[in-house]
Amino acid sequence: MRTQEKKETEKIIITPEDLHKPVYEFVKRVFDVVYSVLALVVLSPVFLVTAIAVKSDGGPAIYSQTRVGKNNVHFKIYKFRSMCVNAETLQEELMKYNEADGPVFKIKEDPRITRVGKFIRKYSIDELPQLVNILRGDMSVVGPRPPLVREVEQYDAYQMQRLLVKPGLTCFWQAYGRSALSFENWIYMDMKYIKHRGMMLDIFLIVKTVFSVIFKRGAY
């Protein structure tokens, strides 16, 4: 176990050769567009039911938030609202209960999460509106999760490498444990993805993520 932990904290340096993959980038973009369009059509009933359920507590169904994308470019990410409407103003009071390490804020029993929100987060339904971000080109289906602005402000030079590629809906972190993993392992997995990314790896991670979501591994 200790050997594995040591391996997952080793630093991976991203080279220009790792980033220069024009054929892969083209195929990936075509895949992203086709995937997001099909998913939006097929999952439209899920969108409708979820929107109605989230609206039932009186707040907006869709929540937008500024995230950091490729090359440190900011964009608005879309999610089904899973927390109370004043969740961000309450976070300062809850910081002392933070269970995550690094610049990330996570509480397993976060009191801001609504009843509907708890369900849609468990099955990652709250993330589905990001299919629109993928269609727009802000994100990809597979890539490091887009961080918050305040998180990036605490990154060191090594961690900033996460921003060298387009962020995604899923990556190693979602496929292998989600919130149950440490920030250090999360960074390691993102660097591993950037180093070895390709369409076969992307498809593998999509399939792996589906199983992780179905069995609710590490979600809160």
- pLDDT (tens digit, 9 = 90+) per residue, 120-133? 998 889 999 999 99
Integer CA distances (angstroms), 189 to 32, 50, 127, 170, 197, in order: 21, 31, 20, 12, 11
Residues 51-104 pLDDT 10s: 999 999 888 999 999 999 999 999 999 999 999 988 888 888 888 888 777 788
- 200-218 pLDDT, tens digit each: 999 999 999 888 877 766 5
Q: Domain locations in the chain?
A: 2-214
In percent, the amount of the chain with pLDDT more than 90 equals 67
User: What's the mean pLDDT in 33-57?
Assistant: 96
Contact in structure between 150 and 92 (CB atoms under 8 Å)? no
Structure confidence at residue 179 (pLDDT): 62
What is the C-alpha separation between 195 and 14, in angstroms, rounded?
6
Residue 144 per-residue DSSP state: P
Closest CA to 50 of 70, 80, 15: 80
Under DSSP, the state recorded for 186 is H
| Mean pLDDT, the chain, whole residue set | 89
In tens, the pLDDT along 22-31 reads 999 999 999 9
